Structure 1
């Protein structure tokens, strides 16, 4: 991720190396947070889809299978909708926390980028590799 050109005459101090290391750690965490955020958003969409299916497909007094851990239990539609709503609320809070964390990491990385590019200019590359 962070590389310094080998043929440069720029001296890297201990503090510079610490900033480069901190940037690399923040970048790795940022990637992990973004991946977790994507998974949570998919879970949230799945809950919405399940709730929509319950409302469309079933009569009001039918029981529906509801997954708890690795087993299914039968719940009334109202109980299932309440459980889905509770799960959705928890997921929304987790997503908000992950967004906050991603923003904090991005802010730290932006500050470190400014410091490192200010000192090393084009002799350092802090941009993500294209996949």
Structure 2
């Protein structure tokens, strides 16, 4: 005797939804596990930051609320870069510090900042430099 088509359909739908519920529970459980791991790492990182770094060769401490002046030479020295007067006419030290930090984050070895100049290129085809970079990044694999 063969089961009717309605029994097969009902069994199939029941199985599909039961498996979906089971997958949802597994994913939520994994989310809770990973959230707990992340919280544990964050508390450990906060605890390690709270301890003073006595072996630090450079201590730049400013009073709370005081605006600290950014010295590009100091930032370059901390980042391991050679600073070659990269702040010509009109480029603030904060910009040089940010660029040096960004280069240090992506570089794999010692580097030297030779110059920093403003990009004077006009928009090409109605797109800014950031937009062109995004298009290039997303279409590069093709």
TM over 0.5: no
Pick the TM interval, shorter chain: 0.3 to 0.5
| Larger Rg belongs to | 2
* TM-score relative to the length of structure 1: 0.36
